[in-house]
Chains A and B, each alone.
Chain A
Amino acid sequence: MKRKLALTLALTLAVGTQVMAAPVSLNVVTSYGGDDGNRANFEAAVAAYEAETGNTINDGSATSNEEWKAKVLTDFETGSEPDVLFFFTNADAEPFVTADKVVSIEEIRAEYPDYAANMKDSMLAVASDGKNYAVPSAGFWENMFVNKSVLDACGIAVPGPDYTWDQFLADCETIKENGYTPIACSLFEVPHYWFEFVVMNNGTIDNQLEVPTVDEEGKLVMDAVAEKWIAGLEDIKALYEAGYFPENTLTATDAETVELFGEGEAAFLIDGSWKVGYFVENHADTLEDYVVSYVPAKGERSASEAIGGISMGYFVTRKAWDDAEKRDAAVSFVSCLTSDEVLSTFVTTEVTALVNGASPAGLNALQQSAADANAAITGVVGAVQDTITGECKGDLFGNIQNVVTGSMTAEEAVESAIKLN
């Protein structure tokens, strides 16, 4: 009798341990690090997931920049990639997609049919092999924030969707005369926001994603695309020479110039939807001073045309998928972070791929102004910088400081970068 009881217990335990998956530890890397506006929401979502599943998340998140992208790609190259990665879905992801280091949604759905079922398939990013790999998170928009208190002090009205480049230049002059900095921007660290819009100002929304080319000898082909890039850089140079950027724009960090705007010392800031959360967290007392407006337009572009889209998503790596212990945890983690409920906490005014849409609640003054601006948007296009290689991008944006100071011409800067594309 005792033998039978012992045998039954042993069998129950053996089966039980197989049925109940033991808690596992997942290595996760995202861009929700540093002062990201959604850092608190991400932490809350991770804590809820850990409490529900008993799994542990080793969070290796950091602030997204070129250095972070390079580090993520290096981790893949050296075999130390995370189990789940929240990363860009554009050309930046191609190295690990083509190396078969991440698992396609199709492959995951073969085993987990409900994976990403709450997403519109038509909005999933398509890799160069025609497959979908990333489950999209919230999208983004880039537009112009204005500090109303500075504009009020200078007697300038908040720009509307018909804002022109000439009006903008006149406003900048007035703001400068009143002792404020017109444009908060670090040309050393983040010239790319301005680059996108000045290129669109010299072209159209339809040809925004076209990239210049070089001939066989490495000389820039001087077509309309190259000309609009050169003209765009010349526009930035003109703003610099007029003294509309901060005096230390070539040595300041992005954090310093954003703070200049936040403290009411600068009037205009081109940034993205992620910056809304930053102001909510760091400048809650003066939130009503900030308004999301429109980037001044010239040529064929309308100020109501902006940069935006869904550029990031969650990847399950091949390493986690092939690990029998981690596979289930990785899939459930991505499903949790991209559920309707969790994504709704990340979203205020951004576009999502959710079938049912996000339902953000209780918008504050800044979020409401962003929603109002987005409602008046007449066209959105992705960022052209997402279509060029990291090396090309690094060279181009690194040389903008040389263009504005005259140590390099705009044409030389474009040619130098495109040679690396």
Chain B
Amino acid sequence: MTSMIYKRKSPLFVFLIPTFLMLAIFLYYPFVQNIINTIMNIGGLGRAADGMNTPWYVNYATLLKDPNMRTAMKNTCILILCTIVFQVGIALILALLVDTIRVGAQFFRTVYFFPIVISATALGLMFNLIFLYKGGMVNQLLLSMGALDSEIKSNGKMIVSWLDWKDQAHFLFTMFMPVMWQYVGFYFVIIVTGLNNINQDLFESASLDGADGWQKTRYITLPMLRNVLCTCLVLAITGALKVFDLPWVMFGAGMPQNQGWLTGTYMYDQTFNKMNVDYGSTIAVLIVVLGVVLSNVANRIFRPSEDY
């Protein structure tokens, strides 16, 4: 009876078709339509195309010349690097630390994962208050520590040189820090799960051989985590390309002075605010191409090993 399931293939198709239909309607069709939109002249969302662009590749040519697009690409590349170093890096360190403690491990898992379940909009508003120019939490802290200049005028009014966390000198930190903070917990949980799957006998035999904590981490834990880390890195790189909500809530349209664009925020602004739908579609295509290329490169560099 059991073997009949494998002999008769038709039931398998019945179960596969709904998912395929969903993918076709909500992923493949919009994707193909989006590519078509890049060569059309579309004056607003939901509007029919007003013929093809002249020449048809004008949006792709604009993409190469657009200074805001170059800024978006540069910032996104920096974000990818930060994601690899800080999100996955910090998550790995935290996971290794939590793995070594006997009491409270569950508490730390919950605490580190918590930012993931908070909406990015709420987080954006919270960080806006933290980095607020006048009277924000960070600036108040710096003032109380004497790190900000202040001056008392002849009329008794105190003037404080508040730090503008969103200006050209600081915006990258202010934009990326919350993004890093939000997703550390996600990779932390993946790595902790990987750590739990390592056979404890290996550590016990290493201990009998006289290995110390660092040696066990270096020669057992990290090699055994290789595949998990590869998955984390691929997820982090492709995820960084799509980052939108938190930076948008905190910085809006390209703050400061068109230096704060990411590929995601620039695509949104062009499509939904500027109503330049065909150009927004072209940016979307670029994001997809970048995602495919970078995830392939990451897969090749961090190829999962069959040894573990």
Contact = CB atoms under 8 A, between A and B. Distances in A.
B167 interface: yes
B257 A402 contact: yes
Contact of B153 (A66, A179, A189): A179
Chain B interface: which size bin? 20 to 34
Contacts of B272: 67, 70-71, 74
Interface in B149-176: 153, 155, 157-159, 162, 164, 166-167, 171
B255 A188 contact: yes
Given A67-B272, A67-B273, A248 B133 contact: yes
A82 to B, nearest CB: 15
Contact of A256 (B132, B167, B276): B132
Contacts of A18: none
A206 interface: no
B51 interface: no
Given A70-B273, A78-B46, A256-B133, A405 B162 contact: no
B258 interface: yes
A260 interface: yes
B33 to A, nearest CB: 14
B275 interface: yes
Given A74-B46, A248-B166, A256-B134, A402 B258 contact: yes
Interface stretch (A136-144, A159-167, A295-303, A390-398): A390-398
Interface string A370-410: 00000000000000000000110011001001100101000
Nearest to A67: B273
A248 B47 contact: no
Contact of B44 (A73, A248, A256): A73
Interface string B240-256: 00000000000011111
B274 A394 contact: yes
B164 A251 contact: yes
A391 B276 contact: yes
A73 B45 contact: yes
Given A66-B273, A178-B157, A391-B276, A78 B45 contact: yes
A37 B305 CA distance: 62
A251 B157 contact: no
Contact of A251 (B166, B253, B258): B166
A391 B45 CA distance: 13
A95 interface: yes
B133 A153 contact: no
Contacts of A73: 44-45
B157 A77 contact: no
B48 to A, nearest CB: 10
Interface string B134-157: 100000000000000000010101
A367 B44 CA distance: 40
Interface of A: 66-67, 70-71, 73-74, 76-79, 95, 153, 178-180, 188-189, 247-248, 250-252, 256, 260, 265, 390-391, 394-395, 398, 401-402, 405, 407
12 contacts: A70-B273, A73-B45, A74-B272, A78-B46, A178-B155, A247-B162, A250-B255, A252-B133, A390-B275, A394-B274, A395-B274, A402-B257
5 smallest A-B Cβ distances: which pairs?
A: A77-B46, A251-B166, A179-B157, A179-B153, A74-B45
